[in-house]
Amino acid sequence: MSVSPATLPPVLLHSEAELARAALATPLLSRAVRLARWAGPDTRVGAGGELVDAQLPAAAAELGLDADDPDAAAYASEAWRVAVDTGLVEVTDAEEEGGEGTVTQGEDLAALSGGSPQDVLGIWLGALDTVYADATVPDMEDLLDVLEENGEVDFSELGWDPQAEADFLDGVLGNLYLLTVGDGAAGEEPVPLPALAASMIVPDDMGEPTDDILEQVSDAMMKLDDQFRLFEPLGLVEYQPVDEALMADIDDETAADAPAPDDEDVSRYGMVRLTPLGLYGIRARMLEAGVDAPAVGDLADKGADALLDGTSGFPQAAAQAEIEQWLARHEPLDAARELLTAARGGDEGAPLRRLRCQQALSLVGDEAEPALRDVLDDPELGGLARVWLAEHGATDVPAPSEALVFWLTIDTIAAQLAAEGNSDELQGLVEGLAQQHSGFFDTAWRVEHPATADVLEAMGRLHPDKKVAKQARKAAFKARSQQG
């Protein structure tokens, strides 16, 4: 499974116990469990382990499905296939060719009631593999259209490439995952199906989509509509299908002639979002495929250096959640000392480490005060130590020197640049500094900090006043000359 970013933003997963309860409550897995408990010596199965046609009405009745429902047999067959594939039932092949096999309850059935949450989730992931495979095979009607006289399918005529189909679905679910967990992502908000389909087809540099591209998007929407209908009973997604009336319109009209959806009726084109269980499932598939898909809590048992480095690229909320989990495993004073030690350094990532350190220390109580007092004279940590002590009501904190104030200012802006780039918040900070300190740039270029020149150049870019911006650029030039 592949998605664009080399490293995805971390996902905040529900607990395994919550996810296991959700898995057991999904319609498809619960049906598979009911059939597994119903199965016995009299259950008749074919050579592939499937229920024979004559057995399907009884299976559908066991599931409480209406006998008049034309889809009842299909639902029962699907649930049985999940039961077989996940080991809830064991099938023994017939001894004679063309005979019927026998069925016994599988060992994994007991794990659903007496096993751990991990056991339950492992079985659910097996069910996901089954549905995933079903979602990437051609429609049965299409298969019948290309069925040859000898009973074999001409896949070349069908135009079906199993790897391409799997890659497309991987990409769609990867994009949906990224839209859910990314910085500034919608999260709980459903994603319109046209937008999701377009994310796979429309080139990033394309302005107005061509008729051919629009037709491809329309075809992809119809394919995804079928696939998400399969995934919803397993709890992977919450899905509002494409309006049946629109499907008829799409069949009757070319994509170029079809009206574009407006804000009021976009939901008629399908809306989808990953559930908490779906986030868990897609992440598990990504990890299996070698994709770096971190989760909040991965760093909780690591050292402070790993915490500060690891959260440097996290969105703010994810960094906060990760830090809280790390602190929960450490005594406040020990945590503060570890964090301060890890925050030192003159490398490019050091300012952001110190910013994350300051964020972590803001969550530590007064027990950490001795650690902060120990670094008051430290040229790299003395500034943040004074800030922490002042915020916690200490009255005997020595005033910082002018050199320390300027060093801390450069360090803070360098960290903000690394965390957010040229944000509106940073622009406001830059404007405030230049306004409050008329001689700021005359002193700032002399600050002995590795990022001084870069910070001053950024201030020149960000400040809207051309005169002030020019002063910043001149100061940056002096800083670079001083650094050699």
Query: pLDDT digit string (tens) for 5-63?
Result: 456 889 989 999 999 999 999 999 999 999 999 998 889 888 888 998 989 999 999 99
pLDDT value of position 255: 42
pLDDT value of position 98: 65
DSSP conformation class of 294: -
Q: pLDDT grade, residue 207 (50/70/90)?
A: confident
Residue of 71, 90, 70 whose CA lies nearest to 80: 90
Q: What percent of the chain has pLDDT over 70?
A: 88
Q: What is the mean pLDDT of residues 230-244?
A: 93
Residue of 439, 432, 336 whose CA lies nearest to 392: 336
Q: What is the mean pLDDT of residues 401-412?
A: 92
Burial class (CB in 10 A: 0-12, 13-18, 19+), 375: buried
Q: What is the pLDDT of residues 293-326, one digit of tens each?
A: 999 999 999 999 999 999 888 888 888 899 999 9
Question: Do residues 307 and 323 make contact, with C-beta atoms less than 8 angstroms apart?
Answer: yes
Q: What is the pLDDT of residues 161-199, one digit of tens each?
A: 778 889 999 999 999 999 888 755 445 789 999 999 998
Q: DSSP characters for 388-432? A: HHHHTT-S-PPPPPHHHHHHHHHHHHHHHHHHHSS-HHHHHHHHH
Least confident of 1-10, 86-95, 340-349, 375-384: 1-10
Q: What is the pLDDT of residues 323-356, one digit of tens each?
A: 999 999 999 999 999 999 999 999 999 999 999 9
Asked whether the predicted pLDDT for residue 2 surpasses 60, the reply is: no
Q: pLDDT grade, residue 421 (50/70/90)?
A: confident
pLDDT value of position 212: 86
Q: pLDDT grade, residue 256 (50/70/90)?
A: very low
pLDDT value of position 257: 47
Q: What's the whole-number average pLDDT of the chain?
A: 86
Cα 417 from Cα 452, distance rounded (Å):
12
**3-class secondary structure, 331:** coil
Count of residues for the chain? 484
Sole residue written with tokens 């406040």: 332
Name the token pair of 139.
């429609």
Element (H, E) at 103: strand 102-105
**3-class secondary structure, 354:** helix
Q: What percent of the chain has pLDDT over 90?
A: 56
Most confident of 122-126, 166-170, 319-323, 462-466: 122-126
Q: pLDDT grade, residue 254 (50/70/90)?
A: very low
Least confident of 81-85, 225-229, 269-273, 426-430: 426-430
pTM listed for this prediction: 0.80
DSSP conformation class of 241: P
Q: pLDDT grade, residue 258 (50/70/90)?
A: very low
